[in-house]
Amino acid sequence: MKIDNKKVISIIVPCYNEEEVLPLYYNETVKVLNEMKVSYEIIFVDDGSKDKTKEVIKGFAKINKNIKYLIFSRNFGKEGALYAGLENSCGEYVVVMDADLQDPPELLKSMYSILQEGQYDCVGTRRITRKGEPKIRSFFANGFYKLINKMSKTKIVNGARDFRMMSRTMVKGILSLKEYNRFSKGIFSWVGFETKWLEYENIERKAGKTKWSFGKLFKYSMDGFLGFTTAPLAIASFLGTLFSIIAFLGIIAIFIRALVDPSASIDGWASTICIIGFLGGIQLLTIGILGQYMSKTYLETKNRPIYISKESNIEKDEL
């Protein structure tokens, strides 16, 4: 990146089928940035949208030279889009932000002034309420945070959004994690750095629909567990040890009973079946846990790129 092109703030916006909300997002954000009087670039990453997102973004780029875009060859997921944006950003401070205006652009001002003081490397945001979110979703989300924080050494803050402003040093740290199975909430925390949290009430998306189905969220939470804790493997070993001890004690008990009272009846078919079934279940569960970790390892060893971009207006030195 040429030095004279250097911007103060880079904003990365992953977009998947966001044609409806993008014009609103653009207007609000550009207004705030103009008020801040800083040089900026907004990098829209079109994550394989099937609607007119790409055309809308190119339209912004035509009227505003600070608008950059990357268009993916297919849907790679928000994590891939974030990585692509970070990799192609050149700002001294880098923001990641959703397109749906659930992340209020107004907060950019306080984020910027906090980072400029130099005490923090990151200003993150936390929703203190989950107002407007389906109850069942909040229930599972809260359960997920409780469990992962018990199991993982990497702290994952409940209600923390991806919306944050980071220093270039922190972005370099994040980019040095090149894993294929990315779970940004964990990665942001894993790299360390002082983070200041700003809190706000949940805001519903301004237009369009959420891209997260229950199934997608479940997969996302599994990525969190598999990426940031190996505790399930330890639990599998623990269960194996526990049941071996129980079985060993059982054998001794049966042996002693046979010695003391050789005529003891050999009934108990039902309980035997229950025990066999139960142990079979535990075995399958633990093999399943192993399998999950193995499948992630398999994907990592393939070393596939995190995203493939087919079009962009970002000039890179090597091109």
DSSP-derived pairing of the beta strands 93-96 and 122-127: unpaired
Residue 211 interacts with which of ligand UDP, Mg ion, none, CB < 5 to 8 Å by class: ligand UDP
- Quote the least distance from Cβ 212 to ligand UDP, whole Å: 5
- Any contact of residue 223 with Mg ion (CB under 5 A)? no
CB of 93 to Mg ion, least distance (A): 23
Closer CB to ligand UDP, 139 or 248, in the complex: 139
Position 100 contacts Mg ion (CB under 5 A): yes
Shortest Å distance, C-beta 130 to Mg ion: 12
Instruction: Report the nearest approach of ligand UDP to the CB of residue 20 (Å).
Output: 11
Q: How far is the CB of 202 from ligand UDP (least distance, A)?
A: 10
Applying the rule CB under 5 A, the residues between 70 and 99 that interact with Mg ion are 98
**Closer of 87 and 98 to Mg ion (Cβ):** 98
Give me the sign of the Cα torsion angle 70, 73, 78, 83.
negative
Which residues of this protein are in contact with ligand UDP, per CB under 6 A? 14-16, 18, 47, 75, 77-78, 81, 98-100, 102, 205, 210-212
The nearer residue to ligand UDP, 40 or 44, going by C-beta atoms, is 44
* CA–CA dist 119, 116 (Å, integer): 8
Give the one entry of Mg ion, ligand UDP, none that residue 77 binds, where binding means its C-beta sits below a cut-off of 5 to 8 angstroms depending on kind: ligand UDP
In the bound state with ligand UDP, the residue whose beta carbon lies nearer, of 77 and 173, is 77
**Of 20 and 100, which CB lies nearer to Mg ion in the complex structure?**
100
102 forms part of the interface with Mg ion (CB under 5 A): yes
Q: With CB under 5 A, what is the number of residues at the site for Mg ion?
A: 4
CB of 172 to ligand UDP, least distance (A): 23
Residue 205 CB, shortest distance to Mg ion, in Å, is: 5
Partner in contact with 109, chosen from Mg ion, ligand UDP, none, beta carbon below 5 to 8 Å by kind:
none
With respect to ligand UDP, which residue has the nearer C-beta, 47 or 121?
Answer: 47
Tokens 């780029």, residue?
61
User: Among ligand UDP, Mg ion, none, what binds residue 72 when CB lies within 5 to 8 Å by partner kind?
Assistant: none
For Mg ion, the closer of residues 92 and 98 by Cβ is 98
In sequence order, the 6+-apart residues with CB closer than 8 A to the CB of 93 are 8, 9, 10, 112, 115, 165, 166, 167, 168
Binding site for Mg ion (CB under 5 A): 98, 100, 102, 205
